[in-house]
Amino acid sequence: MSDEESEEPEEPTVELGEGPDVEGAPLSRVASRLTWPQTKSDVEAQEGDAEIRTPDGPTSLSELLEDVDETYFDSRQAFVAEIEAAAGRGPVATE
């Protein structure tokens, strides 16, 4: 390995823009903190207070789970699909 390959880049490869902050966490981040399968009550106990980004602004996961009829999520994809259906899809509100 040469010295050039082991050096860290001096600047980040992707620059972050200067824009309004987005409130809440991405649903994918919350879903990645859980292990699957999960029951609805376990998800609420572990991450219920998490604020999720939605088109209507940040919403607690507990509120979104109230609109979900499923009581058992066999996979991360099933959980994300149900929460997206409850939250809606679209542009996320900013400050």
pLDDT of residue 78: 97
- Which stretch of DSSP H or E encloses residue 38? strand 38-39
pLDDT computed for residue 23 by the predictor: 85
Q: What is the pLDDT of residue 62?
A: 96
Q: Tell me the C-alpha distance between 43 and 50, whole Å.
A: 10
pLDDT in tens, the chain (95 residues): 555 555 665 665 666 667 777 788 999 999 999 999 999 999 999 999 999 999 988 999 999 999 999 999 999 999 999 999 999 988 876 76
Q: Indicate the Cα dihedral angle 11, 17, 18, 23, nearest 10°.
A: -120
Instruction: For the chain, give every domain's residue range.
Output: 22-87
> pTM of this prediction?
0.76
Nearest Cα neighbor of 94 from 31, 17, 30, 24 is 24
CA–CA dist 62, 30 (Å, integer): 12
